[in-house]
């Protein structure tokens, strides 16, 4: 809970800085690259979170690890601030919260879609267009997975809202209706 609040505070400050300096695109790119770097290098995370390493050593290690990423000055300052305040271990939570806020700011919706079968490109385009109309988003990022247990149809999740259009759900509802009608 505390990590979430800390991450939210830093993410809000970072998006405020990014929008006021018209560097939203650059900082977002930096955050994505850093999240990928930490994902690919778990030892780097462990090293930076180690309380026995001096802050100057952590800064040197981080500068070396991010040398080829060409990060913006704002992003570099954030990383150094996180090291100074012993909060670099929270960066991933900050990064994810920042991306969530950025998507909201530029009206991008991330939609999880489970379907019983693989969708064609045309079907995906039609679903995206319908979701744009429904949500008012400028762009829809569709993350699709196949779940054969659905039998047919799909389940769409937009944030905390779930739209279940699967045959499995319809059969469950029908079974419930029949059960209450018969007994």
- Which tens digit of pLDDT belongs to each residue from 74-132? 999 999 999 999 999 999 999 999 998 998 888 888 899 999 888 899 999 999 999 99
CA distance 42 to 87: 16
Average per-residue pLDDT for the chain = 89
Task: Sort residue 70 into left (φ over 0), alpha (ψ -120 to 50) or beta.
Answer: left
Could you tell me what percent of the chain has a pLDDT over 90? Answer: 58
Lowest mean pLDDT among 40-54, 93-107, 139-153: 139-153
- State how beta strands 154-158 and 108-115 pair: antiparallel
Query: For the chain, which domains are there?
Result: 2-104 (1.10.520.20), 108-182 (no CATH)
Q: How far, in Å, CA of 125 to CA of 132, rounded?
A: 10
Contacts of 23 (CB under 8 A, 6+ apart): 17, 72, 74
Residue 174 pLDDT? 81
Tokens 């905390």 sit on residue: 160
d(CA 14, CA 11): 5
pLDDT score at 77: 94
| Edge-to-edge order in the sheet of strand 108-115 | 139-146, 108-115, 154-158, 161-164
pLDDT of residue 91: 94
Between 77 and 173, residue with greater pLDDT: 77
């Amino acid at each position: 809970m505390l990590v979430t609040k800390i991450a939210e505070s830093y993410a809000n400050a970072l998006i405020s800085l990014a929008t006021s300096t018209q560097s939203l695109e650059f900082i977002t790119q930096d955050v994505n690259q850093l999240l990928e770097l930490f994902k690919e290098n778990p030892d780097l995370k462990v090293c930076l979170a180690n309380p026995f390493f001096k802050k100057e050593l952590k800064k040197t290690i981080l500068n070396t690890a991010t040398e080829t990423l060409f990060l913006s000055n704002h992003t570099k300052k954030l990383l150094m601030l996180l090291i100074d305040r012993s909060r670099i271990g929270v960066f991933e939570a900050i990064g994810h919260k920042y991306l969530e806020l950025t998507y909201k700011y530029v009206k991008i919706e991330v939609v999880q879609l489970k379907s019983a079968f693989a969708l064609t490109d045309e079907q995906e385009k039609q679903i995206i267009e319908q979701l744009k109309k429904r949500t008012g988003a400028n762009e829809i990022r569709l993350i699709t997975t196949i779940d054969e247990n659905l039998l047919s149809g799909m389940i769409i999740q937009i944030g905390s809202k779930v739209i279940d259009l699967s045959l499995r759900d319809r059969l469950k509802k029908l079974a419930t209706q029949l059960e209450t009608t018969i007994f």
